[in-house]
Amino acid sequence: MEYRGNWNKYLELLSERYKNVEEVTEEIINLQSILNLPKGTEVFVSDIHAEYEPFLHILNNGAGIIRSKIEKLFKDSVPENERSTLATLIYYPEEKLALIKKDITDLNKWYSITLERLVEVAREITSKYTRSKVRKALPKGFDYIIDELLHAQVDLKNKIKYYSQIIRTIIDLNRADEFIVAISNLIKQMAIDHLHIIGDIYDRGMSAPIVMNALMKFHSLDIQWGNHDILWMGAASGNKACICNVVRICARYDNVATLEEGYGISVRPLSTFAFNTYKDDNISTAFIPKQFEYNKYSGTDKVSIAKIQKAISIIQFKIEGQLVMKHPEYNMDDRLLLDKIDYKNGTIRIDGNTYKLNDTDFPTIDPNNPYELTSEEEEVMTRLYESFVNSDKLGAHISFLYAKGSAYTVFNSNLLFHGCVPILEDGTFKKVSIMGKTLSGREYFNFIEQATHKAYFEKDDLGINQDYKDLMWFFWCSPDSPFFGKERMATFERYFIDNKEVHKETKIPYYKLVESEEICNKILREFGIDVSEDSHIINGHMPVKAVKGEVPVKANGKLLVIDGGFSKTYREQTGEAGYTLSYNSYGLLLAANKPFESKQNAIETECDLQSEIILRKENVERKRVADTDIGAKLKGEIEDLKMLLTAYREGMIKEKI
């Protein structure tokens, strides 16, 4: 056996980690054993839109996995109300403990029963993982104790007293509360092996920073950027058109607190400018913020918010117009609308038709140069720009989005992306001309990956990467963007024209064509996936309008659209409260969630998230780690170790004693 070049160097490096035949053999046996374990559970969630409490509940209940384990273990031995209490205790241990202890008379007895049940649940939920993996997840302070309890052979007589004594000692030392919290957190962590976020963490709801904090603490996940994520990424990179859109949407949904309290981004300069500029303006109802049961204008005057929204909207249309004129290759001239206004008659000409405007007060627009910012508007944008690019907390969250996120992901034969693939009516991938390149399909997505990173991470001292920063707005709203997927974004029309016909945003051909299994298979192959029963496209972005008969499962099961109205703003359209997709060793399970009232209600009433099974796709044979992407990687490592083993045995590399 002879090694040359890089292989010899690689094996020499590998020998530093596995120093002799004994260590190599031990690791091969270990990896071979892992390959035969059941596949870990993946959970897919899309379009969170800053709805923190229902999202957190899905993480806490392991997408229903924890309750199913409790039912499996205790259905015939523990009353239903006690099973519900146990589940809620695991989901919210600190809060539930405080309530339970108010009503328990014999607390030590309750502790003893509860600790034993929690250990049983933990043992069941960790049973498909290696002891090494479980140990890495064990909470500090209780790691040795929990490890012993999980692996104690309680059916052996000589272990029963040992097991019981551990439980008794925890209670006697007044550590039961801390232990309950620790083992509950372990159960929650091990319930979901890997989390997929299929885009749109931001906008609409009130708690994007809280959602991001929760994701940053999660042990294993990936993110596929949605159009609203791209928008915030663009704003953080300093794209002023993206900044305007972010601020406008926050005002539209009465969610300015996300900027000011969540990220320390002050809108006071904009607010002052809006009040002074539009103090005598009869604001159009189109600018009155959206009102929902959870944001009753936050105690703020709705007219003030409306003025902020109008002020930033006009600035946005100006800056977007500048971008369109700067980049004719974007082919977005139809968004140049300020120069189509007849300011004297209060009308606008669009696509050969004349429409009356519902608001004709444009004090900052020069009809002869409508896309030029006034000096006051320039000052407002300078202040907003500085706030966005210098916010440490926003920077940390956006950096995390880059670290864990991508335009698309291929994971265990599934293709994950948020929106769509630009495709023509004839089923061919659309060629997009951008930055001097003509790209389509997977190659286009790969370019987007590079461009978004350049926009955020490359310094702009010489203006070299300004075109990449400009692209962030293009990715937000261009018909050629895989994050958007519509022929135009009719923001101006929705604000200023009452005729709803011009509000329509027509979807690109992708959304019609992917009803076909053939087209879905073509897309899967384009992204390097061998089409099989186990391969799917998993999307979000377009809410499934179940109330109108739409279904999330398309193309004979090849496409799963899991945007079901997680955000409360979409509930009337969808009739659901989001979808949760899980993929474990037994198969796929797609569930439609019912509205989640609140965390407090869940704790007090022990009401779990209610779901209806939409799709259950069971594997013919139970999936093992060997059948996954991780399994393929482990098989490669085993082959490398076998080569090192041979090198040791043939004396090509010397063992280290």
Residue 67's Cβ-side half-sphere holds a number of Cα atoms within 13 Å equal to 19
pLDDT higher for 382 or 617? Answer: 382
Average the pLDDT over 386-395 and give the result: 97
Average the pLDDT over 118-145 and give the result: 91
Q: How would residue 279 be classed by pLDDT, with cut points 50, 70 and 90?
A: confident
Average the pLDDT over 380-407 and give the result: 97
Q: How would residue 295 be classed by pLDDT, with cut points 50, 70 and 90?
A: low
Q: How would residue 597 be classed by pLDDT, with cut points 50, 70 and 90?
A: confident
Cα 312 to Cα 270, 282, 290, 319: the distances in Å are 8, 17, 16, 10
Amino acid residing at 166: I
Cα 1 to Cα 4, 8, 22: the distances in Å are 10, 11, 20
Residue 359's Cβ-side half-sphere holds a number of Cα atoms within 13 Å equal to 24
Average the pLDDT over 512-536 and give the result: 95
- On the question of pLDDT at 94 being above 60, the answer is yes
- Give the rounded percent of residues in the chain with a pLDDT score beyond 90: 74
Minimum mean pLDDT among 59-73, 482-496, 605-619: which range?
A: 605-619
Minimum mean pLDDT among 111-115, 147-151, 194-198, 330-334: which range?
A: 147-151
- The span from the CA of 429 to the CA of 499, in Å, is 34
pLDDT digits (tens, 9 = 90+) for 402-436: 999 999 999 999 999 999 999 999 999 999 999 99
- On the question of pLDDT at 154 being above 60, the answer is no
- On the question of pLDDT at 142 being above 80, the answer is yes
pLDDT digits (tens, 9 = 90+) for 18-31: 999 999 999 999 99
DSSP H helix total and E strand total for the chain: 28, 17
Inter-residue contact 539 to 417 (CB < 8 Å): yes
Average the pLDDT over 300-304 and give the result: 77
Average the pLDDT over 119-138 and give the result: 91
Q: In the prediction, which pLDDT does 458 show?
A: 83
- Predicted model pTM: 0.93
Q: List the one residue out of 480, 596, 483, 582 whose CA is nearest residue 540.
A: 483
Output the six-digit token pair for 319.
Answer: 């800056």
Q: How would residue 218 be classed by pLDDT, with cut points 50, 70 and 90?
A: very high
Q: How would residue 1 be classed by pLDDT, with cut points 50, 70 and 90?
A: very low
- On the question of pLDDT at 347 being above 50, the answer is yes
Mean pLDDT of the chain: 91
Minimum mean pLDDT among 10-24, 264-278, 288-302, 532-546: which range?
A: 288-302
278 CB burial (10 A radius; 0-12, 13-18, 19+): buried
Minimum mean pLDDT among 139-153, 387-401, 566-580, 630-644: which range?
A: 566-580
pLDDT digits (tens, 9 = 90+) for 230-247: 999 999 999 999 999 999
Q: How would residue 640 be classed by pLDDT, with cut points 50, 70 and 90?
A: very high
- The span from the CA of 256 to the CA of 274, in Å, is 14
Q: In the prediction, which pLDDT does 150 show?
A: 87
The ranges assigned to domains in the chain are: 5-37+631-649, 60-191, 227-402+422-496
Query: What backbone torsions phi and psi does residue 206 show, to the nearest 5 degrees?
Result: -95, -5
- DSSP 8-state assignment for residue 369: B
Strand 553-554 and strand 536-539: the pairing is unpaired
Strand 432-434 and strand 405-406: the pairing is unpaired
Helices (H), 490-564: 491-496, 510-513, 517-526
- The span from the CA of 273 to the CA of 374, in Å, is 11
Minimum mean pLDDT among 142-156, 186-200, 447-461, 488-502: which range?
A: 142-156
Q: What is the DSSP string of 221-262?
A: EEEE--HHHHHHHHHHHT-HHHHHHHHHHHHHTT-HHIIIII
Q: How would residue 9 be classed by pLDDT, with cut points 50, 70 and 90?
A: confident
pLDDT digits (tens, 9 = 90+) for 51-91: 888 899 999 999 999 999 999 999 999 999 999 999 999 99
